[in-house]
Structure 1
């Protein structure tokens, strides 16, 4: 067993896990697009998001210190939750190992002077029927544990078409000899902390800056079933030509989000 790091005082490393989560759909008519925005605002309003984050904080073993939440006009919502640690784990469990973390029914963590935030951004293209729901989630912790322990829970809680995930360790802590440590656990890739079913479902790309303790993973679903992307209509209501056109629009939208740039549309 690797010798445990003996620190001088509190672990001052700040570890932040950030998600950009995207769900894409096609809403055929202006009425369908309005209904899509209304559906998203109802399903993910500030009250509902507060419930979700409250459950997340309980699952990871945190005390809620303060909650701020807001619904916006014309759409969108935000919740910010300040949390502190609740000592539920043994000393050995506090070590973050590079392996898949627990799934939703078994997530536990140890947090101090930390926060969880979520912001939503539903929007709809005025002409081509593409509608997008984006949720930004941040879990930031100070102390020995990494928020990577909550990774699989968050992925499974927000089943999405596209995810961009960032993990960064900032600051430093000192050992008992006064030597600085800029990271306190091994990590080569965020992917190594994901469950097998997630790795099987998504195509992934890493962009990591190891010397800066910055890790970035982009994910997009491998399989594309058009019926899962239609709001207010079904595949059986489309002509073959409409089906091909809508499929192209959706895949083009997803590719632009995944690669982070505008792309020329192929006819």
Structure 2
């Protein structure tokens, strides 16, 4: 579709990116409270607000209003209303290329909102703790929130990333013809930097005729030390093997979206 499409009135397309990250950690019972406190401090409402402000800067949006809240016993939320900035979007805005990293920011966003909610939680008895952050970037207009994706992936410690992108509604050109999407897209993966892609196993489930795109990412390399809340733990080889199995099961279950159950062995009479 041509970049200079002449529209009848405003661009009424709504483009929504839902971005879920999971950070998995091993913190046994005596460490779980410390883990929750660490996560609540590392990703409190102030820190999340700053991340969303950075996203607004990346996409050139004007912040209209911010509401943020820390919760008891854990978790936080931030909602940010935004509007279109004064700078026109560059011609490359809708190109299928990665957005900027945290140290290089230039983009544009039309009016809408950005939200983030966090969900720290722990398994009741096996020491596995999983932190989840849900982020939604929704735009109404010419540009796609996918340009903020690369920055968001690098803003969190992401073992698993699950992304959904959808274009809703339609906009009309000056002849009255409806347009249900105004940019080419074949995969969310095209908006992720190559060095990041190399770190993850990635799966796409796309419904092109409905303008629905879904991508899941899971880290390829597993190093136990990266998953231990207390890095200097005195664990023997057997304990390490058991913990590693628990962690890998947790990550795999989240990635594929279902629980794995051990087969019961029947004992002969």
Alignment counterpart, residue 223 of structure 1, candidates 221, 243, 266? 221
Deviations 1:218-244 (A, max 9, x none): 000010010000012436x11111000
Question: 1:2-33 deviations in whole A, cap 9, x for unaligned?
Answer: 462111111000001111100000012x2211
Structure 1 Cα separation of the partners of residues 97 and 58 of structure 2? 19
Q: Is the 8 A contact 1:17 1:167 kept in 2?
A: yes
Considering only aligned residues, what root-mean-square deviation do their CA atoms show, in Å?
1.7
Shift of the 55–3 alpha-carbon distance from structure 1 to 2, 3 Å rule, reads closer
Q: Which residue of 2 aligns with 1:145?
A: 143
Any runs of at least 4 consecutive aligned residues in structure 1 with deviations exceeding 4 A, and if so which? Answer: none
Aligned counterpart, 2:17: 17
The count of aligned residue pairs is 264
TM-score of the superposed pair, with normalisation by structure 2: 0.93
For 1:58-69, list aligned pairs within 5 A: 58-69=57-68
1:42 corresponds to 2:64? no
User: What are structure 1's unaligned runs of at least 5 residues?
Assistant: none
Q: Secondary structure at the match of 2:198?
A: helix
- For 1:265 and 1:222, how far apart are their aligned partners in 2? 24
1:154 paired residue number? 152
Moved more, 132-141 or 151-160: 151-160
Match of 1:8 in 2: 8
Give 2:267's aligned residue. Answer: none
Could you tell me whether the CA contact under 8 Å between 1:75 and 1:122 is conserved in 2?
A: yes
Contact 2:56/2:62 (<8 A) preserved: yes
2: CA distance, partners of 1:90 / 1:168: 20
Indicate conservation of the 8 Å contact 2:17/2:138, yes or no.
Answer: yes
User: Is the 8 Å Cα contact of residues 33 and 124 (structure 1) preserved in structure 2?
Assistant: yes
Normalization by structure 1: what TM-score? Answer: 0.94
Q: Quick check: 1:181 aligned with 2:179?
A: yes
Contact 2:17 2:136 in 1 (8 A): yes
Instruction: Please give the alpha-carbon distance, in whole angstroms, between the structure 2 residues aligned to 1:117 and 1:81.
Output: 6
Aligned-partner SS, 1:223: coil
Three-state SS of the structure 1 residue aligned to 2:111 is: strand
Q: Which residue of 2 aligns with 1:262?
A: 259
